[in-house]
Structure 1
Amino acid sequence: MAPSGVWGILHRWGWLRPSGVAVLGRLRRWLLALPMLVVACSYAVAGIEGSTPVVASALVSLLWVSINEKIYSRGMVQRVLTPLGPIRSAIGVGYLFGIGHLQNYLFFDAPLDDTLWQMLSAALFGFACAGLRFAIGSVWPMVVVHGLDDFSRSVRRVRRRTGGCTSSMPRSGRGCCAATAPGTCSWHGASVRTPTSAPSRPGRATDDRAVARRAVADRAGAEVGRGRTPSGGSEGAAR
C-alpha cells in the first residue's frame, strides 16, 4: 500500500499523531536509535561504489521504501495492535514484518535458507523498531535507520581480492593457486611445491596438481598471447 493511502487511512481514523507518523516524538530519545544507526552505516565502512547518479538514486529510492514500510508497519499496524500492550504489539509487529519477507522465496526465486534467515533477522529488526517507536513516539528515526541500512548494503564496496586471490586464479579446496614456477603454486602467499607422488590424502593432492597445471597453462597461454614462446618446463608442467 502506498504511503499516501496509509496516510489517508490514518488521517480518517484520527491516528496520524497517535501512530507517530505526524510527529517527531521526544527528540532527546532519538539517541536511543543511535546503536542501530551505527550498525546500519557499518556496512559501508569499506567504501561505496557506483557513479554519483546511481548512488544518489539508490539513496532516494531506498529512503522512499523505508518511509513506505515504516508508515505502514510501525504506523498503522502497530497502532492497531497497541491495545495488546507494548510487548505483545511489538512481538506482533516483528512477526508480521518477518513473515512478509517470505515473498522473496515465493515470488522472486530466493533460496529457502537465505529467505528463512532474512525472515528471522527482519522479525528481530521489526521488534526492535517497534520498541523504539513506543519509546520515542515517532516513526521517523526508524525511517532513517532502515533507509540507511538498506542503502549501505546496496552500495557497499565488495572486496574482490581475498588472501592474495583474484577471480582469475584457479582454486581448489586448499585456496587459490598463483603459478610462481612450473609445477609450483603460491597458496595464499605460501609457496608450496605440488606433490609428484601420491600422499596419504590423494584426493587433495590430485586436486592441487590439477589446479597447479591449470595455473601454469593459463600463464603459458598469456605469454603466447603476448607473442612469447612458453618455456619447455612450462609446457611440460601444463601437460
Structure 2
Amino acid sequence: MLAALFLLGATGCAVTVEDRGYVAPPPLPPMEQLEQAALVDPEDYSGGADGVVSFITADRTVACSLTAARGPHINLPYEQNSFSDSENNKLAIVPVAHCELARYPKPQTEDVADDCAATNLGYLGGVALLTPDAATYGECRSGVTQMEAAYGPRGSKAGPLAQLTVLADGKILERNGLRCSAYNGGVACGNVSAGVGFFVSPDHYELIAGPAANPPAATAGASKTP
C-alpha cells in the first residue's frame, strides 16, 4: 500500500473524482450561441461556384443552407428551384438561411405567414427561413420536406442530402452576415447584428424578432403667442 502511494506521488499522476453534485449549465440562448461559438471554415461546406454553404446535423434531423433568394425562389443545391430562371433575374438577390427538418412540430397559429392561395390549407411545419430582417417557420406545400423524404420515419437515407457535410455540435458557419450553429439538439440561425433569428429542432422551434425600434423622442410643441 505504501509502495503504491509512493509511486503515485513520484509519477505525478492525477486521479479524477466524479462530482456527483455537478449540474451542467443550461444551453445559451440562440442569439448568444451565435455570438460566442467558434466559426468554422465554410470552404468545407461549399457546394459549388455559387457560394452556397450547406450542412446537416450529426443526428440527421436538420439540414440547412446559407444561400440566397430571389423573391420566393431560394437557391438550394438539394432541391429543385427557379432561382436561376431568366425571368427571375429582375428580382433582388437577398441572403437567406434555410433549414429543413426530418421530424418537426406544427406551426403555432400566430406564426402562420401565408394563406396558401386563399385556401388557409396546407401551411405545414418543417421549414424555417431567415432573411436579414425576419424569421419565419412553415410553408405552403402538399408533400413532405426533402429531409423528411430522406431521414423521416420512412426515409430513404439517400440522395443529395445524404452527401452533405456534418456541422459539429457547437460550431458555427457564416455567410453574408447570417450565421447558423448546430447546438442543443437542433440548429440556430440568425443575423446577430439585427437580433433576428430562429431555433429549430424535432420537438420545438423559436422565432426571434429583433429589438423593437426605439420610439421617436418627444418634441416640445411650438409655442403659440396670442
TM-score range, shorter chain: under 0.3
Structure holding more helix per residue = 1
Relative to the length of structure 2, the TM-score reads: 0.25
Greater percentage in strand: 2
Which structure has the bigger radius of gyration? 1
> What TM-score does the superposition give when structure 1 sets the normalisation length?
0.24
